[in-house]
Structures are given as C-alpha cells and as structure tokens.
Amino acid sequence: MITKNWRTSERKYDVVVDRDVSIRMSDGLIIDCDIFRPHASGKFPGILGTHPYEKSWQSSPAMPRGMTERNASVEAGDSYFYARRGYAHVIANVRGTGKSEGQYTNYSPQEVQDTYEIIEWIASQPWCSGDVGMFGVSSFAVTQLQVAVLNPPHLKALFAPFGYTDFYGDKYYHGGIFAHGFVCGWANRTFQRRVDNRTPWSSWTREKLGDEKFKKAIAEALQDREIFAQPSIVEALSNPQKDASPLIVDVVLNKLDGEYWQERAVKHEKIRTPTYLGGCWGIYGLHLPGAFRGWEKISAPKKMTIGPPIYLDRPVYQYQYESLRWFDHWLKGIDNEIMEEPPIRLFVMGTGEWKATNEWPLPETHWTPFYLHANGLLSEHEFWPNEGNSSFEDNPFNLRGGLKFLSPPLVENTEVIGPIKLTLYASTTDDEVLWFISLLDVSPEGEERLLTRGWLRGSQREVDPNKSKPWEPVHPHTKRDPLKPGEIYEFNINVVPTGNLFKAGHRIVLKISCVDDEKPKNFLEAIAQGHLWRQTPSWITVYHDADHPSCLLLPITKGNIIGTYMSGGNITINV
C-alpha cells in the first residue's frame, strides 16, 4: 500500500567522511570504524553496521552487480545515501578484523558486547541525536539481531533482512549434516581478506577442553570417514592453529547443538527493538529460516518482506527507500504510515507479483498431505493395498541413487506458500542415513525449477513434541542415536518454506537422495550444497503403504480445490 503520505527524508546534505576512527572498548581494545555524516551543524540519528570483512569495500564506488562469491561481503548499504538524508552511518570492523584489535571469535558474546558499546558510543557523540538504528544484510543482519537481545538503551530500530539466527541449523549443520563447503570457503575468504589485522584467530573449543582433550577430539574427528573424505577439513584439523583453521575446527568439533552454538544463537523473545525482517525464497540454505523464526518469536513491532529468489545486488542498495522510511518513523518520529501497512509482504514465484498478509503461516492455508506411492506417484489419494516400497543404492564407489515422486499434471493453478514437512518411513542397511530433500516445479516440457530443500541426519531424528507444530517438527540435535540396519524408522523432515504458484499443466515433484551432487544453476543453490556424504555403501528403502504413510504436507493457499487428476484431466470415450 502506497498513499499520498508515503514520503522519506529529503536528499539535502553534503557528506563528511571520517576514516579510521577509533572506539575504545571497556576492556581497552580499539575497534576501528568509518563514519559518514551530514556536513551540517545539529544532531542526527546514527545507523550502525558491524562486520568482519574488508572495510574499504563497504563504501567503494562500485556499479552494483549480482551477488557472487567474490562480492558477497559488500553488505553495509550506501552510506552516502543515508548521510545525504540526515543520518550518520557508522561501519565498524568487529574485533580481530580489519584494523580492530583483538582476536576474531566468530560472533561470540564478546563481539555482541562490543556492538552494544559501539551503539552507546555513537549515541554519546556530539553529532548524534541519541537515537541509533542498525542496517545491513547477512553478517550485518546477524549482529543486529544478536545485540538486540541485550536491548541497548539507545538502539531504537533494526533493519535486518537476510539474517540467520540459529548458527547450528541455519548455517553450519543443516538437519545435523555438516555444510563443509560453505564453512571452509567462508572462513578462508574472511581470513584472507583481513589485510590490516594479523592477530591469530582464537579457538573456543581449545580453551574449553584444554590442549590434551583438544588434541584427542581432533584425532577422533579424523577417524570419521565422512570427515576424512574432505581434504579441506583434514587440512584444518591437521593444522588447527593456522590461518582460518581455528574457526573451522570449532565447527567440526561441535557437531551437536550445545554450548558453542547456544552462546551465539539469537534469543528472539528478549528483543524489544522494532525489527524489519526478510529474505528471499532462494536463500533457503542460509538466511530464510531465520526470517520466519524471528517473525514468530519477536514480540516487538515488526515487518517482514520475502522477495524473489535472487538475493540482492552488491553493493546492497535495493532496500534503501524502505529502510529510510523505517528509520524515519522510528528514529525521527516522522508519520509516514509505514506501520499502518500490512506487516508481511511475500513475492509469489511463478507470478511475478506480491501478496500482502497479516499472518504467517497465511490464514487461508489448508494443509494437504500428498502421499508417496508406488511407481513415483505423488498424490492426495491414500494408499492402495500392498503398495510396498521403493529402493535405491547409495554407494560412494558406484552409484549415488535417489527417488522422484511426481504429482499428476495440475489442472488448476495451485499456490503453495508456507512451511513444508516430509514424513518419511524408511530403512537402510547402514547405521546412518543422510536425507537430502528437494521440492521442484516441473513444466509440461520437463523443465525443472528447484524451489527449496530440506535435510536430516537419520541418527538425529529425535523430535521435541513440546516445540514442534504439525507442519514444522523441531529437532533438538543434542545427541546421535544410530540406526539399526534393516529397521523401519519414521523421519520427520523440515523442508524450508517456499512461495510458488504451480501453474496448470505443471507437476509438483519431490526428490529424495542421500547426497547433494546436482550441478547448481546459480550461487544461491551452491550455498545450499557442499555437505558431507556417507562413505559406506548402503541400500535405502522408502516405505509407502497404509502402515507406513509417507507423505509430503504442503501448505496450499489457493487452488487445488478439487485436487489433482491422475487421468491428467483428460476425458476419454470408450468405443
């Protein structure tokens, strides 16, 4: 909704830039920052962004381009845009990065405390009105949500789309499966770009365990065949003090959700700062779950926008006017009616259009089970007698197989928006299984469009009944319970929410595998891949019968009124 009261602060100031400004922390260390502020007398609200990357990139005069591995960290936003409109934009390197002193500790409580102190420092400056907001995506968004848990007195607004909030499950261990490709790549790139600071990175695990137990834990990790199959992880474990290895080793040795992860996870219930959340449908392998988790748990004033599956250009600029309206309202007290608009906006893939709503999941959702049948059929129809099962081989030396289940061609446009759950009854000849689940939209011509994914390590299948919903199982991931070969188990697998219109003639397709070996079509798909695979040959069987009702629970929000037609909707004449 845009009204005649839609307005933002005017573009009217020249910009003063203060480079390499030092902020002293309470423990004596120096945090380095750049400040972009209006060239005018008076006091202005502050906007803060904190990060571990190369600082000069954040304000470089670059033509925006689509996100790639090389430019992904340019996430601070356009400092000149905000300063010209009456804000002081502060971009600070977290400790142990850039010119900031100390050791880098991977979003630790110490970093969060530093951010708190930076906010209060900004509020005390002679050019600041005393009101501070925060802006930025990805790393910049994560640090916003972390510090908001502490509720700094002068923090008045967050603009934090594209921010993961469960460090274990959103970033490092999808469904309990280690995402080594992203971790090693991100850690090494982050270390290599620290051109100004050569302080060694610290190891949380080494400090907790002591040298002897730390060495023993590394030796045990190297005995894991999944780990040993990945040279980059073996290299880090073999040289745990070298370059980015301390971070990688910490992640490897904390393979279950515990103290290391809980120190960093966002406790949304404690946030009292107005928060703008969001993401895009394509970032299901990193940030998207955090947006919906934040929407559910944050009780402060909030808004959420989920965009098309293309993330944002780098340098980031697309949200500049929306964020300006947000800050104008919360930091300058301007009545621009932003809080009178529907709080949630969702781009619907397959339509090129947006949907506005007040609730998540959508109030019009009717949860529909699509059952897995023999011969690869996916249908609302329940089981026929003696349907049996489907099997495939997962063999690192021979064949990495899988299964596909396809709905009949849809005879009506069918909209699917919301959380997705797969209930899978299965057995394996191994004592472990790694589930990789994909949901696809397939056109009549056979063109596949990957929508979202889900993951689960079989030994971490335990579900918390007190926290789970019928459409969203919650796994504690605090222990591993090995499988008994040949025994049938029920696996409840979260598939990350999506928003898509399956057009008439298209099919809903579920793919089940034990590896993620597909060639990614873009960088966002690549981010969601690169996991460990089993190194033991096994035979996997998925059961689909009345006693083992494997099914995909889909959130239908429009269409599918009558249901799919196994005939394809074709009327025949018997002669």
CA distance 157 to 145: 11
CATH number of the domain to which 539 belongs: 2.60.120.260
Residue stretches of the chain with pLDDT short of 50: 1
Decide if 354 is inside a domain.
Answer: no
Residues 333 and 302 both lie in one domain: yes
Model pLDDT for residues 55-87, shown as the tens digit of each residue: 999 998 899 999 998 899 999 999 999 999 999
Angle at alpha carbon of residue 532, lines to 448 and 184, rounded to 5°: 100
Residues 392 and 510 both lie in one domain: yes
Decide if 567 is inside a domain.
Answer: no
Q: Say what angle helices 109-124 and 139-148 make with each other, to 10 degrees.
A: 80
Total structural domains within the chain: 3
Residues 215 and 156 both lie in one domain: no
Do 117 and 26 contact (CB within 8 A), yes or no?
A: yes
Decide if 349 is inside a domain.
Answer: no
CA distance 136 to 138: 7
pLDDT for 240 equals: 96
Residues 203 and 308 both lie in one domain: no
CA distance 449 to 442: 6
Residues 541 and 487 both lie in one domain: yes
Q: Which amino acid is at 180?
A: H
Q: Say what angle helices 231-238 and 180-192 make with each other, to 10 degrees.
A: 50
Q: Say what angle helices 211-222 and 231-238 make with each other, to 10 degrees.
A: 160
Do 159 and 179 contact (CB within 8 A), yes or no?
A: no
Decide if 8 is inside a domain.
Answer: no
Residues 45 and 81 both lie in one domain: yes
C-alpha separations of 108 from 195, 211, 262 in Å: 22, 21, 10
Instruction: Give the residue from 156, 26, 140, 146 showing the smallest Cα distance to 92.
Output: 140
Instruction: Give the residue from 362, 357, 347, 370 showing the smallest Cα distance to 560.
Output: 370
Residues 254 and 284 both lie in one domain: no
CATH number of the domain to which 72 belongs: 3.40.50.1820
Residues 402 and 550 both lie in one domain: yes
Last residue of a domain, one of 214, 238, 262: 262
Decide if 485 is inside a domain.
Answer: yes
Expressed in percent and rounded to 5, the helix, strand and coil fractions of the chain are 25, 30, 45
Q: Which amino acid is at 482?
A: P
Which neighbouring-strand residues pair with 47? 89, 133
Residues 133 and 174 both lie in one domain: no
Decide if 571 is inside a domain.
Answer: no
C-alpha separations of 541 from 214, 402, 460, 487, 490 in Å: 39, 10, 18, 10, 12
Do 442 and 449 contact (CB within 8 A), yes or no?
A: yes
Last residue of a domain, one of 279, 307, 341: 341
Decide if 3 is inside a domain.
Answer: no
Instruction: Give the residue from 288, 333, 337 showing the smallest Cα distance to 309.
Output: 288
CA distance 413 to 169: 33
Residues 418 and 325 both lie in one domain: no
Helix (H, G, I), strand (E, B) or coil at 208: helix
Residues 225 and 155 both lie in one domain: no
Using the CB atoms, write b or e for 162-180: b if 16+ within 10 Å. bbbbbbbbbbbbbbbbbbb
Do 181 and 229 contact (CB within 8 A), yes or no?
A: no
- Which structural domain, as residue segments, surrounds residue 219? 170-262
CA distance 258 to 477: 9
pLDDT for 199 equals: 74
Residues 302 and 440 both lie in one domain: no
Decide if 124 is inside a domain.
Answer: yes
